[in-house]
A and B are shown apart, each in its own frame.
Chain A
Amino acid sequence: MKEEDYILFENYLAGELAVEEKALFEDRLETDAAFQESFKTYKAVSGFLEHKFENEATTNAFKSNLKSISNAHFNVAKNTSEENKKTNPFRILKYAIAACVVLMFSIFTFNQFNNPTYSDYNSHEPMTVVRGNVKDLIEATKAFNNEEYEKANSLLKKVLENDPENTEIQLYYAITNIELDNFNVADTELNKIITGKSAYKDKAFWYAALSRLKQRKIDATIVLLKQVSEESDDYKEAQKLLNKLE
């Protein structure tokens, strides 16, 4: 673009072109692609500069407020993980004791102790029908409690289609998928619960961890286990598993 084109851009944006000049300008915008391209960029750059300098003070105020909230949030997270570190010597002692016990046992039992695996933890709480008495749901419950996961899986899928927001069903559906090694489906369902606000959130973290454990993604298992909150039923179990993994 030539210098006078940029001057024209500026005058147009400032609304300072005469009627004929304006018509001419808009006509050229439609017919001259390069002119139009440059004008678009000029306008965007100009908008950026205007915002940057006119609102500098408010933007800076926002940034500093954001920074302090962010630091507070992340420091809490760091402190809790440091507290965990502080307990390390104790944990090492526990490890030592546990190791001795394991060693002694293994001498007598020909080393039947292995790394924790999913199958150590897959004794699920029995499924109980809470809401509705749809036929499929009853069938699904029976199948689930009889560990016929394939059958339960397809029935639960059907139930979910009619009642997609039912977190309890989502959870059991996810469990059947873990059992059947459909990890993608399982993890997707569990994530829905995790990001929601239901009472099954902690259960979902626990099972999400077990799913990763079954996939031998140990790092992810650890991260998820740490999210299981202290109030939850699975907290103790989660901590035990954590100790074994870390």
Chain B
Amino acid sequence: MSAKKIHEDQKYIEGLLENNSFIIQAIYDTFVPKVINYIKQNSGDADQAQDVIQETLITIYNQASQKKLQLTCPFDAYFFLLCKRKWLNELKKKTNKEVTINEEVLSKDDDSQELAFETSLFGEKQALFNTMFQQLGTACKDLIKATFKIKSMEEVAASLGVTYAYARKKKSLCIGKLTKMVQESPQFNQLNY
């Protein structure tokens, strides 16, 4: 395996994971002004910039926590690309509004492009899974919540008043149902191309 060298900016990722206010503050002081500038120059305002930045940091946090995200490029380029991509997607959604894009400098660094792409894909998938989860029936939702929160399937079964075997089977079927809903959604095929 050819492991890529981890960039020293990994400290920002670790800081986010640890919910370290000092690091989060440093990210806002150091990297956020550039993003705000970019969004303001491209048909956005400060409030929209605030949302894009916040959501991007949550996506990074989620990926770091779920997938052990390892930064192989500077945080600056990675973060800017992610916010930019998110903002362009937002703009696309407002189909009627005419959009003027100011193509600013982008890092031509392949690592940051690749990593940012992975993270935004991860974020979009998460959002899709979440939407689909909300559309599941209440029984499935409750059972899934219980199995992941309580961990012990025996306890889950007891708390729901069903047998262990039934709870277990039901869990696979509920996640199976969610899997099917996800696979059948048009967005999923776009993400998986």
Q: Do A and B truly interact? A: yes
> Which positions in A face B, CB cutoff 8 Å?
1, 3, 5-7, 9-11, 37-38, 41-42, 44-56, 58-59, 61-63, 65-67, 69-70, 73-74, 77-78, 187-188, 191-192, 194-195, 217, 219-220, 223-224, 227
A49: contacting residue among B36, B133, B173, CB under 8 A = B133
For residue B85, CB closer than 8 A to chain A, the reply is no
Which of B40, B126, B168, B178 contacts A223, CB < 8 Å? B40
B159 at the interface (CB under 8 A from A): no
Which residues of chain B (98-121) have a CB below 8 Å from chain A? 102, 104-105
Please report which residues of chain B, range 1-48, place their CB below 8 angstroms from some CB of chain A when the two chains form the complex: 16, 19, 21, 24-25, 28-29, 32-34, 36-37, 40-41, 46-47
Would you call the interface of chain A mostly helix, strand, loop, or mixed? helix
Interface presence of B187 (CB below 8 A):
no
Within 8 A of A (CB), among B160-174: 168-169, 171-173
Instruction: Kindly list the 5 A-B residue pairs having the minimum CB-CB distance in the complex, ordered from nearest.
Output: A6-B176, A10-B172, A53-B148, A191-B105, A51-B66
- Count, A-B residue pairs, CB within 8 A: 123
- The answer, yes or no, to whether B62 is at the interface (CB within 8 Å) is yes
Q: Collect the chain B residues with CB atoms within 8 Å of residue A44's CB.
A: 125, 129
Residue B92 at the chain A interface, CB threshold 8 Å: no
- Residue from A42, A49, A58, A70 within 8 A of B53 (CB atoms): A70
A63-B58 contact, Cβ under 8 Å, with A41-B182, A220-B102, A223-B41: yes
Interface of chain B: mostly helix, strand, loop or mixed: helix
Give Cα A84 to B40, complex, Å: 18
Residues of B within 8 A of A (CB): 16, 19, 21, 24-25, 28-29, 32-34, 36-37, 40-41, 46-47, 50, 53-54, 57-58, 61-62, 65-66, 76, 102, 104-105, 125-126, 129-130, 133, 144-145, 148-149, 168-169, 171-173, 175-176, 178-180, 182-183, 188
Identify which of A3, A54, A69, A217 contacts B148 (C-beta below 8 A).
Answer: A54
